[in-house]
Amino acid sequence: MNLRLVTLNLEQNHKRWEARRELIIAELASLNPDLWALNEIHVPSQTGRWLKQAAEKATGRKYSLLQQSRTGEESSTRAEGLLTRYPAIESVNLDYQSHDCVALAARFELAGKFLDVYVTNLIAARVDDSARQYQVAKLLEWIRTRGDADHSVVCGDFNAAPDQPSIRLMASAYRLTQTQATAFTPLREPGGSPTHPEWQRFDRCIDYIWVSESVRVSATGLCFNKPTADNPNLWPSDHVGVWADLEIA
């Protein structure tokens, strides 16, 4: 069975969201994902719900939205999410009890096999990588408790480059689909500064799709990686996305 999976950090509703979201949907029709992992859904303005409805219009197919808010002070503003064309038979979450971060897991039964899809956004890069090492360890421990799945995929913004210890820990259990740079675009408000102005543009990969050994990757690449034609500072997000075509045996 073949699946197309996409992941994107939305940058909440910051930096001209109403213009950015049109760029996202314009590309979505050609991507046509079966599963779409979303980081930084903005809870008050229901950006995940808007994208669900717009994606259905763009592709002519139905999606379901699974969403999990962060904990603590960020519970009312940010969430992780998954848009799916397949019905989930289970949806659960992990509270890392670390920097308000969470992971969302959804289980699907496809061709008589169980596929678990995890969506997470680890703590920001300005925090020492030891915090992300802790979160990755908690995530892998949680995944092991759900070991009755035949296949598993982990998506999201890990806020760490492939040479950092947290990513090496993740790579001890999962395979990367790509390591191209995903952060950060020149996205900015008119007259404003881009996200993380102290860093170079596109100098690191921090957004990933990870697959278990039982999943074959037939193709992969970047998406949402072009600005609007008339404004080099208006991008779909401050990150670019990742897509992968997966073969589930």
Element (H, E) at 143: helix 129-145
Q: pLDDT for 183-233, tens place per residue?
A: 999 999 998 999 889 989 999 999 999 999 999 999 999 999 999 999 999
CATH homologous superfamily, domain 2-248: Endonuclease/exonuclease/phosphatase (3.60.10.10)
Q: pLDDT for 96-139, tens place per residue?
A: 999 999 999 999 999 999 999 999 999 999 999 999 999 999 99
Domain segments of the chain: what residues? 2-248
Tell me how many degrees the CA angle 35-23-126 measures, rounded to the nearest 5. Answer: 75
Tell me how many degrees the CA angle 124-202-222 measures, rounded to the nearest 5. Answer: 95
In terms of pTM, does the model score above 0.95? yes
DSSP 8-class letter at 73: G
DSSP 8-class letter at 124: P
Q: pLDDT for 62-72, tens place per residue?
A: 999 999 999 99
Position 12 scores a pLDDT of: 98
* pLDDT at residue 249 tops 90: no
* Integer-rounded Cα radius of gyration of the chain: 17
